[in-house]
Amino acid sequence: MVKVGAVGDIHSPKFLEDFRTALKSADCSKLDLFLFAGDLVLKGKVSNIEEVLDTLEENKIKCPIISCFGNEEYSNIRAEITMKAENRIKFLDDESTTIKIRDVNVGIVGSQGSLESPTSWQSRNIPNVEKIYAERIDKIAKILGNLQTDIRILLTHYPPTYKVLKGERKWFYPHVGCNRCEKVISSDRIDAVICAHSHLGIPFALVNNVPVYNVSLPATRKISVIEVSKTGSLDQYMVP
């Protein structure tokens, strides 16, 4: 049994106080792993990661902490933010890591993820963004396919399905998540998918019996806690 705490979209300092409140309300003392689903800082301001790190320290989060990048951790600041957080948070950027928790090998694949359709800002400012998103789907599938662990977790910022987007404007779904990523969830043995970005979405959905969690702090107002067994079955999902 592996107990995971997860949250995303702190956008420090915007939702930093909500993050502090959520940590104080959660029982994090028995967590085996803590996952951030991106957008820890607001609009690329690297210095704001310090407040997140301080909050983790204040609340005595001692388990391994893994994060993917969100769209507000701009590509040109990722090396710096990784360096600032290197003693506390391990960032994954289209890559995987394996952590042994007791007798269980847990593999995490972390990525910003893809959108079905780039936003207008992205189309104007990110060269070849459609190609980047299409290639990233294949890259994630390949990394997952090579991951030989007891438990496999896909950690992305963008939701890899529309099913957790209920509450968002339907016409905006393609600019918030990616339905094409469902084929990755369906084709590989994944025990849990953890994402964020959807501030108005719902916290949980199933994609071909694979649990998908939207842990966006503005949506959940809490630290989501997930318990996954070695067999890959979901044992518990704590909801309000």
What are the pLDDT digits (tens) for 142-196?
999 999 999 999 999 999 999 999 999 999 999 999 999 999 998 777 999 999 9
User: What confidence score (pLDDT) does residue 1 get?
Assistant: 81
Rounded Cα–Cα distance for residues 181 and 137 (Å):
6
- Measure the CA angle with vertex 11, ends 183 and 184; round to 5°: 5
The predicted model gives 48-71 an average pLDDT of 96
Rounded Cα–Cα distance for residues 30 and 219 (Å):
24
Give 110's strand partners: 95, 155
User: What confidence score (pLDDT) does residue 230 get?
Assistant: 62
**What is the Cα 229 distance to its own chain's centre?**
20
Where does residue 103 rank: exposed (0-12), middle (13-18), buried (19+ CB within 10 A)?
exposed
User: What confidence score (pLDDT) does residue 80 get?
Assistant: 97
- At residue 228, does pLDDT exceed 90? no
Assess if CATH 3.40.640.10 describes domain 2-237: no
User: What confidence score (pLDDT) does residue 240 get?
Assistant: 36
The model's confidence at residue 133, banded by pLDDT at 50, 70 and 90, is very high
Identity (one letter) of the amino acid at 129?
A: V
Give 205's strand partners: 212
User: What confidence score (pLDDT) does residue 73 get?
Assistant: 97
User: What confidence score (pLDDT) does residue 27 get?
Assistant: 87
Domain boundaries of the chain, sorted by first residue? 2-237
